[in-house]
Structure 1
Amino acid sequence: MVTRLSSDAGNVADGIVTVIPTIFRLIIELVATFFTLFYYEPRLAIFALSIAPIVAVVCFLLGRKLKVLQVKVQETESAYRSFMQESLSNLLVVKAFANEQYSTDKLVELRDERFYWVLKKSKMGIISSTIMSISFQLGYIAAFAFGAIQLSRKVITYGTMSVFLTLVNRIQAPVMSLAQYVPKVVNILASAGRIIEIQDIPMEEKLENHIEAENIGININNLTFGYTEEEVLEGANIQIRPGEFVAIVGESGIGKTTLVRLIMSFMSEVGGCIEFNNSLGQVEKANAGTRNFISYVPQGNTLFSGTIRENVRMGRLDCTEEEIVEALTMASGYEFVSELPNGLDTVIGESGHGISEGQAQRIAIARALVRKAPFLILDEATSSLDEKTELSVLQGIQNISPRPTCLLITHRRSVLKYCDREICIYEKKIFEQLI
């Protein structure tokens, strides 16, 4: 995706700004020169231009091959960039398993594969340019021979022949230049095709909210979904009433996070129905727009590089300083933030580099709380916190007024005493457990 939005987009932009205007200029130059030569000697003008169809056929055949090679170049660049980015993002994992040499060798392998396709494309470009050059040279020699014959027959003068050869060269020059632009045009078309593939991805269904964003609950009826042909959830049903704290406790891989992603409308092709409702009895089908009702703390470290203030403000960009402090306090994070040298303006690296996992998790929770949404989803959001801090965070959330509806995914049964209900996923169905 990054390669398409940077390298491919750059190819298209360069084509629009440079290549296409140059091609138009060359076409105008070719037409003007042809008619000038045609005025003096129609047969020579037609002969000089007769090479153009041959060139066009050769360009078409070579262009198809070059387009395939250009796509290969971009695909190998994508693989190279992707592996490099993932290796840097997960550098601690690479070091932990002593896989530095493997990662280096893999990167070299991907680089060599990319160089292979770049070299192959370059060779094809050189071959095509050579063929074009030889063709034009032969054309010029033929024009010279034709002019010499006409001169020997005293049909034309030396001056006329000089003009003819000059005009023939002026006709061939733009045609040859156009031929040399074929690889660039091919690059543009190949890159444009890769960008269009992104544009062809269906847009999310995002509807304008029609219900009051207060005291939000959710109804899930006959929910069926699978990443492959095998279903993760099949005919699942659950109702979460406004203001309830509901916990999902269970082993990994049973569909807990999948359920959250479906509620968030991160995935389409869903069977069944997911609807949000409020205490007024209003109902709205889940879509990208209903995320406005939701605050979400995902699994893992999901912080951005920048200041702690900027990370918390991602929850609501127009929040005030007081609201940031309040959210951090409820997340049991303000104490450690205030002790940092620059407080809220302390700069952290990508994925929270520079602070601990527990501290990063508390900032992520504060980011969700500052949103003040009526529906809160915590997906293993307190896994890096000690039990005392975890319970303090949950108590803070329960004390929010009006109390949000909260869906907790956790492995710790100690949090159940703060929940109204416990549900579990078993054999692709959702069941309620007694607490």
Structure 2
Amino acid sequence: MSELKGWLDQKLGQLPDDWIGAARWLLGMLGGYRARLGLLSALRTLTVLLGVASAAVNRGVIDAAVSHADGIWLAIGLFVVVQVSTSAVSIGLSWFSTMLGERLSNHLREELYRRLLGGRWDALTGHHSEQLLSRLTSDVSSISSGLTGTAVSLLAMVVQAVAAFALLIHYDASLALFVAVLTPVAVLTSAVLSIRLRMLQQKVQQAEADYRQRAQETIAHIEVVKAFGAESDEAETLSKLQGEHERLVAQRALLSAVANGVMSFTFVGAYLFAFLHGILGIMGGTVTYGTFVAFLSLVSQVQSSLASLGGILPRAASVMASVARVREVAAFEQEAPVRVDAPSGAPSPALGIEARDVSFSYGAGGAGGQSQAVLSGLSCSIAPGEVVALMGLSGAGKTTLVRLLLGLLEPTSGTLTLTCDGMPQSCIEARPRVGYVPQGNTLFSGTIRENLQVGNADASDGEIERALADVSALDFVSSLPEGLGTRIGERALGLSEGQAQRISIARALLRRSGLLLLDEATSALDEATELSIMRSLRERKPRPTCVLITHRREVLPFCDRVLALRSGPDGGGCLVEESVPTS
């Protein structure tokens, strides 16, 4: 218990600054949805007021019926109006709440997704993809449900508690006093237990994230799992993760049952007291039948509203935890804004590359000042239209250099620029004029046409066919049952690795770029197809500048120059020019 008290003191000390900052950020993200949430809160408040009014109206109807009073039909009319109004408002509230929650979730996801897409590459790759997806899905859903549920219900619960309690005092002050003393005790007890529940909930969420992350990676690399015969080991690992998740869920369920039990027994006690108090009052002639029914309704309303208010803090804490996780992503450093125009009818002029004493280290400026030198003092000039092979041992920094040329990373020191018609530009500014074919399979689920149009959404069928012909892919695509409309699955399921590589190269050609970066782009192709593609690249008019990362010396005769990355004195790679073989 002392551990819980210490944790509670620490958290309560942090709440004002953390929550106020989170609330301000969230209000800024909501935009025009603030007014809609206000309307939702007003509708819920109207609903609870109708509920309190219903208790008074029901009392009048019952007492008028028992006493055969002349105002019975007026009372019945009020009863009908209140019931119909309550039903109508509830129906509208249900529809409005559902639609607002969905649209609010979509709004927040869209805003967050834009931040992810615009974030710096190194910031994004520092997080596991499953964790980022969890923020886009689970955390956004938690925030949306918290706003449309907990937040907008706060005013309604306060109004219901005050109105029902005031009417209860009007009918019987002693009964109201008993409820006022007993109910808050149960609410506070339950709230303390709910704090412990939140601690367990965080552990449950982390255990679930660990399970999902492991399952995602296992499915993504299923061929490796099968190749090494590791199915049983992976199944056992997931079973252990599930077991830990189940253990935490069991603890949470037990504590939840205790908290609910305390609340339930206390509420039952108050309800029984109200029931017996009313029965004795009827027997003694001090309480009417209508007042007795009103007692039971009002006590239930006071209890339910106070119970909801007692659960506000832990629920709000859970929502704010999701807000903090989402803010972490929204705070990713954004890339400099770049104007990205759709490719025009004319190809981009060939770009030149100017590198002056470029060095790059991963982790520079990180914790403890630790860094890993990858490139050191790299200098070179590549003229527009040149085809340059970039070679070197694995890990020498070739892919890092490509990421620098794409503007995904920035040099630790030195300058790296791309020139267009003699005018220097930063790599990120010139990115719209760069075509890129990365290592591995980078096609999306969808049709072949949709994958190709990632390079140029406005590409005509003629342009698509020319690009496919240049990479020796037109014949195999045309032979497919649906041609360009053929759907491929995740990780290009349905195509061979070589076919997928050719589609990726054609996608880059459709960009009409002035610089083409090929990172092991032909590694899965047979020699004849690879040489045919290299020949097509050299014969393109106009010919883009091409930087080709390769380990195959057979393609070197198609290159104007060969640059090799060699290890420098400080461990970073530096460029050394090699002779181009003639055959």
Question: What residue is the counterpart of 1:376 in the other structure?
Answer: 516
Question: What residue is the counterpart of 1:286 in the other structure?
Answer: 427
Q: Secondary structure at the match of 2:523?
A: coil
Give the C-alpha shift of residue 185 in structure 1.
Answer: 4.3
Q: Secondary structure at the match of 1:314?
A: coil
1:102-113, aligned counterparts within 5 Å? 102-113=233-244
Question: What residue is the counterpart of 1:219 in the other structure?
Answer: 354
Q: Distance in 1 between matches of 2:480 and 2:362?
A: 45
Q: Secondary structure at the match of 1:231?
A: strand
Give the C-alpha shift of residue 181 in structure 1.
Answer: 6.3
Q: Secondary structure at the match of 2:373?
A: coil
Return the match for 2:384 from 230, 242, 245.
Answer: 242
Q: Distance in 2 between matches of 1:205 and 1:126?
A: 52
1:1-400, aligned counterparts within 5 Å? 1-39=132-170, 45=176, 48-50=179-181, 54=185, 57-58=188-189, 61-137=192-268, 157-159=286-288, 162=292, 167-179=298-310, 184-208=315-339, 214-221=349-356, 222-227=358-363, 229-267=371-409, 270-279=412-421, 281-287=422-428, 289-400=429-540
Give the C-alpha shift of residue 373 in structure 1.
Answer: 0.9
Q: Distance in 1 between matches of 2:433 and 2:483?
A: 30
Q: Distance in 2 between matches of 1:57 and 1:433?
A: 75
Give the C-alpha shift of residue 213 in structure 1.
Answer: 5.1
Q: Distance in 2 between matches of 1:78 and 1:197?
A: 17
Residue identity opposite 1:398 in structure 2: R
CA contact (8 A) 1:71 1:191 kept: no
Question: What residue is the counterpart of 1:423 in the other structure?
Answer: 563
Q: Secondary structure at the match of 2:352?
A: strand
CA contact (8 A) 1:63 1:183 kept: yes
CA contact (8 A) 1:225 1:271 kept: no
Q: Secondary structure at the match of 2:372?
A: coil
Q: Distance in 1 between matches of 2:137 and 2:250?
A: 21
Q: Distance in 2 between matches of 1:33 and 1:50?
A: 15
Give the C-alpha shift of residue 299 in structure 1.
Answer: 0.5
Identical counterparts, % of pairs: 37
Give the C-alpha shift of residue 381 in structure 1.
Answer: 0.2
Residue identity opposite 2:338 in structure 1: L
Q: Secondary structure at the match of 1:10?
A: helix
Q: Secondary structure at the match of 2:562?
A: strand
Q: Distance in 2 between matches of 1:197 and 1:70?
A: 20
Q: Which moved more, 1:32-41 or 1:86-95?
A: 32-41
User: What do residues 303-359 of structure 1 show as CA deviations (whole Å, max 9, x unaligned)?
Assistant: 222222222122111111111111111111112212223222222221122221111
Q: Secondary structure at the match of 2:354?
A: strand
Q: Which moved more, 1:185-194 or 1:28-37?
A: 185-194
CA contact (8 A) 1:136 1:176 kept: no
CA contact (8 A) 1:421 1:433 kept: yes
User: What do residues 41-82 of structure 1 show as CA deviations (whole Å, max 9, x unaligned)?
Assistant: 667656644567656654654444333333322222222222
Q: Which moved more, 1:9-18 or 1:178-187?
A: 178-187
User: What do residues 207-232 of structure 1 show as CA deviations (whole Å, max 9, x unaligned)?
Assistant: 3379x953222223333221462222
CA contact (8 A) 2:448 2:488 kept: yes
Give the C-alpha shift of residue 38 in structure 1.
Answer: 4.3
Q: Distance in 1 between matches of 2:162 and 2:451?
A: 60
Q: Which moved more, 1:296-305 or 1:6-15?
A: 6-15
Question: What residue is the counterpart of 2:23 in the other structure?
Answer: none
User: What do residues 140-197 of structure 1 show as CA deviations (whole Å, max 9, x unaligned)?
Assistant: 678899x79x98xx9x944599566764443223112444566654543333332222
Q: Distance in 1 between matches of 2:474 and 2:234?
A: 39
Give the C-alpha shift of residue 253 in structure 1.
Answer: 1.0
CA RMSD of aligned residues (A): 3.2
CA contact (8 A) 2:435 2:513 kept: yes
Q: Give the gaps of 5 or more residues in structure 1.
A: none
User: What do residues 78-129 of structure 1 show as CA deviations (whole Å, max 9, x unaligned)?
Assistant: 2222222222222222111111111222222222222233333333322222
Higher relative contact order (CA 8 A, sep 6+): 1
Q: Distance in 2 between matches of 1:353 and 1:190?
A: 38
Question: What residue is the counterpart of 1:434 in the other structure?
Answer: 578
Return the match for 2:547 from 407, 412, 420.
Answer: 407
Structure 1 length normalisation: TM-score?
A: 0.86
Structure 2 length normalisation: TM-score?
A: 0.66
CA contact (8 A) 2:188 2:310 kept: no
Q: Which moved more, 1:79-88 or 1:63-72?
A: 63-72
CA contact (8 A) 2:417 2:426 kept: yes
Distance 1:51 1:282, change over 3 A: farther
CA contact (8 A) 1:66 1:186 kept: no
Q: Give the gaps of 5 or more residues in structure 2.
A: 1-131, 342-346, 364-369
